[in-house]
Structure formats: C-alpha cells, structure tokens
Chain A
Amino acid sequence: DIRMTQSPSTLSASVGDRVTITCRASQNITSWLAWYQQKPGKVPTLLIYKASILESGVPSRFSGSGFGTEFTLTISSLQPDDFASYYCQQYNSFSWAFGQGTKVEIK
C-alpha cells in the first residue's frame, strides 16, 4: 500500500506568514492528491484536488503543487481563519491513504 508522510507535524506561524506543508508518497501517485482542512470539532473540507486544482469557493491564497511523490500545500498569507489541521490524501491506487496531518498553530 502507498503511505503518505507529511511534514512538519506541527507548524507555528503568524498572521501574514507564507506557510508550506510537504506531503511525500511512498510510490508514484502522479497527480492523484488532495488536501483537506479540518478545524477543531469540525468536519474536514476539501481545499485542493488533483494536486493543484483549487476547489470551488476556496480562497486563492491556498495553492498546491507537485507530481509523482512530492507535493506541497502553500498558504501565501496566513489568515486567522487558517489556523487548523491539514491533511493530504492520495487516491491513485486501489487503497487510498491520508497523511498524518499538520497542525498550524498561532506563533
């Protein structure tokens, strides 16, 4: 099965910072990668799919890139509403998988 590894596990940042989260796949998943945001006590929401396509309604400060085994989620200017946990998910293989998550905290 394909395993997904995110880094860092926790990230401390300030409003206005540029933030980058990395997700690595144990095998080539081409572009079959999604990113989700989850706030405490809330349901996850889709941010990006197919590695770089922004889901409808998601602010343009979020962007995704990558292909194959290495991917990044970037928030260009962190806003107060962005303090949350972020998860990558591969859907290339018959067996899907999430990364372990990255918590973005207030510095």
Chain B
Amino acid sequence: QVLLVESGGGLVKPGGSLRLSCAASGFTFSEHYMSWIRQAPGKGLEWVSYTSSGGVTKYYTDSVKGRFSISRDNAKNSLYLQMNSLRAEDTAIYYCARKGGFTHGLDHWGQGTLVTVSS
C-alpha cells in the first residue's frame, strides 16, 4: 500500500534551517507529482510547494519563495524540503502528499512532521 513517512522536523531558532524528508513506498514514485502542505496549530491547511514527477517543475507559495526549496530523488523514492531563514510563522505540521494523477487531487498523505520555530 502507499506509504509516505516524513522526518526531519524539530525545534529550531528563528533564522535557522531544517531539511524535511519524505520517504515513499508502495507506488512508482517517479510517476507522481509530490507536494508539501503545512498546518499551523489550530489553523487550516496551507499549500507550500509542489514538484513535477521528474523534479524539473517546482512551485511555491509566496510566503516561502526564496527561503524554501523542494527537491526529490527518484532513485531513493524520497521528497525533500529545505527550509532556510525560518520564522515563527513557519511553525506547523508539515505533510507530504502525492498527487494521484493528471486530473487527481492529493490522494495520499503522510502523518506529518512538526516544525517549531522559537527562540
């Protein structure tokens, strides 16, 4: 079955960096767009970034442009999010999710990893 497992979250000071990872299994990773979505405590879902199946196309929400970088390693079935210049407002659970197909939505989600930005 499809499994997405995030790791790399933790407590970091403002201005610091973290690299999130998402290990995928149970499907052909290289055939799917992948995305990061975050949810601040008690708040709604916020789309952060997505990458195309080959990793060439990458898009970001405005608030993270220039600070976050999405990447993937299809040989390792892994998705990454490099987060630099972190701010308190980046505090959230970060989910990786698979886009099911060209017409599909985000059909599988990981359990999430918590990122806390605080001094």
Contact = CB atoms under 8 A, between A and B. Distances in A.
Interface size class, chain B: 20 to 34
Interface residues of A, number: 25
A36 B59 contact: no
B107 to A, nearest CB: 5
Contacts of A50: 103-104
B112 A43 contact: yes
Contacts of A53: 103
A36 B45 contact: yes
Nearest to B50: A96
A49 B98 CA distance: 13
Contacts of A81: none
A96 B47 contact: yes
A39 to B, nearest CB: 13
Contacts of B109: 43-45
Contacts of A100: 44
B62 A43 contact: no
B105 A89 contact: yes
A85 to B, nearest CB: 8
Contacts of A99: 44
B61 A36 contact: no
B42 to A, nearest CB: 10
Interface of B: 35, 37, 44-47, 50, 59-62, 95, 99-100, 103-107, 109-112
29 contacts: A43-B112, A44-B45, A44-B95, A44-B109, A45-B109, A46-B100, A46-B105, A46-B106, A46-B107, A49-B103, A49-B107, A50-B104, A53-B103, A87-B44, A87-B45, A89-B45, A89-B105, A89-B106, A91-B99, A91-B105, A94-B59, A95-B60, A96-B47, A96-B59, A97-B47, A97-B61, A98-B37, A98-B46, A101-B45
